[in-house]
Amino acid sequence: QVQFVESGGDLVQAGGSLRLACEVSGTPVSINVMGWYRQAPGKQRDLVAGVSRGGLTKYADSVKGRFTISRDNAENTVYLQMNSLKPEDTAVYYCNLIPYGSDYWGQGTQVTVSS
């Protein structure tokens, strides 16, 4: 059974940093295309970062240059390093496959950025 457990969210001031972690069970992250998604209040859930099986990364324009996605195959964990955070980054952050598995959404982790 595939399961994603996100952690690391917090309340931070604008300009601050956070590192999110996604512990994955039921499938190796090394063979999957993994992504971080986020959903702000009243908005749809969007993909913000992805990492391919070969380690190539891609980012939404809104986070490019500030966020970094990485993967630890030994720990079967995916990370999202977030720097220079802005109030508009406030959202619940989730990890999932790309394309996402609709049955795999976890509870997410709340990131709140104050101005």
For residue 52, count other CB atoms closer than 10 A to its CB: 13
How confident is the prediction for the chain on average, in pLDDT? 97
Distance (Å, rounded) from C-alpha 19 to C-alpha 4?
16
Model pLDDT, residue 47? 98
pLDDT tens-digit profile of 47-84?
A: 999 999 999 999 999 999 999 999 999 999 999 999 99
* Cα angle, residue 113 at apex, residues 72 and 49 outer, rounded to 5°: 35
